[in-house]
Amino acid sequence: MQKIALAYFAGDKNRKQYKNMTIRNLSLALITLMGIALPANAQYAWQGYDERVPSKQRLDNNIGYKVEMQSSFSKDKTPLWLNANKHGLSSLDEFNGYVRGAVMRPLSTDSARRWAIGYGVDVAVPVNYTSNVVVQQAFAEARWLHGVLSVGAKEYPMELKSQTLSSGSQTFGINARPVPQVRIALPEYWTIPWTKRWLHLKGHIAYGMMTDDGWQHDFTNKRQKYADHVLYHSKAGYLKIGNEDSFFPISLELGLEMACEFGGKPYRLDGHGNMKRIPTSTGVKDFWNAFIPGGSDATDGLYTNRAGNQLGSWVARLNFDTDLWRFSVYADHFFEDHSQMFLLDYNGYGEGEQWNTWQKRRYFMYSLKDMMLGAEFDMKYGRWLRSLVFEYIYTKYQSGPYNHDRTQNIGDHIAGMDDYYNHSIYTGWQHWGQVIGNPLYRSPIYNTDNSIDVRNNRFYALHLGVEGSPTERLDYRVLTTYQKGWGTYNNPFTKAYKDFSFLVEAKYKFNHDWTVKGGYAMDFGSEKMYGHNAGFQLTVTKSGLLTKKK
């Protein structure tokens, strides 16, 4: 298994016999699961079929709407927690806002049917944003039994974390604008037959394209690294061990999340101050190499890597569930290559003429240091305290401060300096200037020198979130975060910088589906982090049904 693991990201030709076997098996298993539509538990109403369900399906019923207006007023920039984790619909400008309207028909409208259809359009007209008009969501989707096919841009939630209290997932977060994609998924856990209802699976596979070409042109003035028409691939699989129908209160969820940016037209400066296009391709083989990492980039040279910007996370969550409360602990381990995906590297190359071939059974092991660890406590009938989340995030290690590939004189192979969220060809794990994962990685939108890169990816942070509902109409939420950053390995800060950010937010629900939400937030830190900011954000929302369910 060690050699199989190493073959995933390693670039040596002598390892082709082992190439990608581990990920191939995982990926093919996920494809198989996407095609499974066997009835298991009563996870949908159609599994308890009722003959009274009308035979004719109407696509014009149960159409909901939402109209929203938001204004933000800040001293200096918009504070972190008024900007982050809003699916990219935010701005750092001192004064910003939007008017937003959405019309949607959810898949749940057809929950009593074996097949269902949903669609939605969500558009915002903003002030002082990166766009004059934002098509936040525009999608159509269909479900057959358990499987769902979606086409378009849609906001997807994080997995295994609180949507309102967590600082954010490291791979598939809620911090950036949705990427238009074609996506096939098992969105809810599907119970595997013949396991006595103890094993459950869900996951997805998607291909899409980034939409921020124009923003990159404006932000960089085409004088710094940028990339047009970049293709996007994501996949994830999750296994749940537990039986909700038994008296056993413990369940375990395990998952692998992976993504890739590939193809497109990336540009970067050459040695003469001119922008040079990096050759890429978008053939069938390139889509396959994104799915099962393979190939190489044009700039790799002698030491080939895998094509595109490959990254992902190992995730896990342990739940203890009772009638009154639920307690969970979870972990999110991020990786950019094999060194943190498998924590193991082949290091037995020869010397002299055999410097580039395997000669010894010797390996280099990396430490498991970089990690997000979290705990969540939910009071099912709590009012003043409904949920509490605490997280610890550490990203300083990145496989160590040294990166060396074998040579004729020194045969050691050490793949350190992983540089999370950045990439040599592409503009990194970002969309429209906001990182796609956890916003504590400082987003490129904060940069003032026209470059698109993450300037602080080596840090540790402590994060606390609390929410409750003192009355049926009043909700509140509090977020506090302490962070200490060291910059990056390639561009370290001259010293460690600190930041403290907080948010206090309240939402009141009026009659006729009107809500008013107000939030006050502040940042206390260096400009290398988020700076000193204070701001207030007011959001007014009206929602309801355009057509009722018939």
Does the pLDDT value for residue 2 go beyond 80? Answer: no
Instruction: Place 542 in a pLDDT band, splitting at 50, 70 and 90.
Output: very high
Strand segments (E) across 80-223: 95-105, 115-127, 134-144, 147-153, 181-191, 199-209
Question: Is 188's pLDDT higher than 90?
Answer: yes
pLDDT at 76: 92
% the chain with pLDDT above 90: 72
Strand partners, 206: 183, 234
**484 vs 27, which has greater pLDDT?**
484
CA dihedral for 122, 125, 129, 130, sign (positive or negative): positive
Span 60-98, pLDDT tens digits: 889 999 999 999 999 999 999 999 999 999 999 999 999
Q: Is 145 left (phi over 0), alpha (psi -120 to 50) or beta?
A: left
Q: pLDDT digits over 309-364, tens only?
A: 999 999 999 999 999 999 999 999 999 988 888 888 767 666 766 666 766 777 77
Q: Which residue has the higher pLDDT, 131 or 415?
A: 131
454-467 pLDDT, tens per residue?
Answer: 999 999 999 999 99
Cα separations in angstroms, 325 against 136, 381, 391 = 35, 8, 19
- Model confidence at 21: pLDDT above 80: no
Amino acid at 10: A
Give bridge partners of residue 327 from the DSSP assignment.
320, 377
- pLDDT at residue 22 above 70? no
Distance separating alpha carbons of residues 499 and 525, to the nearest angstrom: 4
Angle subtended at Cα 122 by Cα 118 and Cα 123, rounded to the nearest 5 degrees: 155
Among 156, 39, 56, 157, which residue's Cα sits nearest to residue 110?
Answer: 56
pLDDT at 437: 98
Give whole-number Cα distances, 227 to 13, 396, 432, 453, in Å: 29, 28, 12, 12
Q: What is the pLDDT of residue 217?
A: 98
Place of tokens 């939007």: 98
Token pair for residue 474? Answer: 């009043």
**Residue 261: per-residue pLDDT:** 96
Task: Name which of 80, 73, 78 is nearest 482 in CA terms.
Answer: 80
Q: What pLDDT is recorded for position 3? A: 37
- How far apart, in whole angstroms, are the C-alpha atoms of residue 475 and residue 234? 34
Mean pLDDT of 199-218: 98
**pLDDT value, residue 247:** 82
pLDDT for residue 180 is more than 90? yes
pLDDT at 9 over 50: no
* R_g (Cα) of the chain, nearest Å: 24
pLDDT computed for residue 362 by the predictor: 73
Q: Which domain holds residue 424?
A: 2-49+58-547
> Minimal CA–CA distance to 45: which of 137, 143, 122, 121?
143
Is residue 118's pLDDT more than 70? yes
Distance separating alpha carbons of residues 293 and 233, to the nearest angstrom: 11
Q: Are 520 and 501 in contact (CB under 8 A)?
A: no
Which 3 state secondary structure label does DSSP give 286? Answer: helix
pLDDT of residue 29: 47
**Residue 166, pLDDT above cutoff 90:** yes
**Listed residue (405, 402, 416, 417) closest to 349, CA to CA:** 405
Average pLDDT over residues 503-519: 98
**Lowest-confidence region among 103-112, 482-491, 541-550:** 541-550
- Count of structural domains within the chain: 1
* pLDDT for position 161: 98
pLDDT for position 294: 67
Tell me the residue length of the chain: 550
Report d(CA 487, CA 528) in Å as an integer.
8
Residue that has been written with the tokens 């290559």 in this structure: 337
**Dihedral sign (CA 69, 430, 256, 400):** negative
What's the CATH code of the domain at 129? 2.40.160.130
Q: Give 465's contacts (C-beta < 8 A, 6+ positions apart).
A: 162, 164, 165, 166, 167, 387, 388, 389, 390, 477, 478, 479, 480
Give the pLDDT score at 360.
74
Residue 120 CA to residue 140 CA, distance in Å, equals: 7
Contact predicate 445/431, CB 8 Å: no
Q: What is the mean pLDDT of residues 259-268?
A: 95
Catalogue the long-range contacts made by 460-463 (C-beta closer than 8 Å, 24 or more residues apart): 460/392, 460/393, 460/394, 460/395, 460/396, 460/484, 461/167, 461/391, 461/392, 461/393, 462/390, 462/391, 462/392, 463/166, 463/167, 463/389, 463/390, 463/391, 463/392, 463/393
Going from the C-alpha of 355 to that of each of 49, 408, 411, the distances in angstroms are 66, 5, 6
Query: CA of 432: how far to CAs of 42, 294, 426, 446, in Å?
Result: 41, 27, 13, 12
Tell me the average pLDDT of the chain.
88
Q: What is the pLDDT of residues 354-412, one digit of tens each?
A: 666 766 777 778 899 999 999 999 999 999 999 999 999 999 999 888 665 655 555 56
- Lowest mean pLDDT across 113-127, 254-268, 284-298, 487-501: 284-298
pLDDT of residue 40: 47
Supply φ then ψ for residue 12, to 5 degrees. Answer: -80, 135
* 35: Cβ contacts below 8 Å, ≥ 6 apart: 147
Among 38, 57, 39, which Cα is nearest to 48's? 39
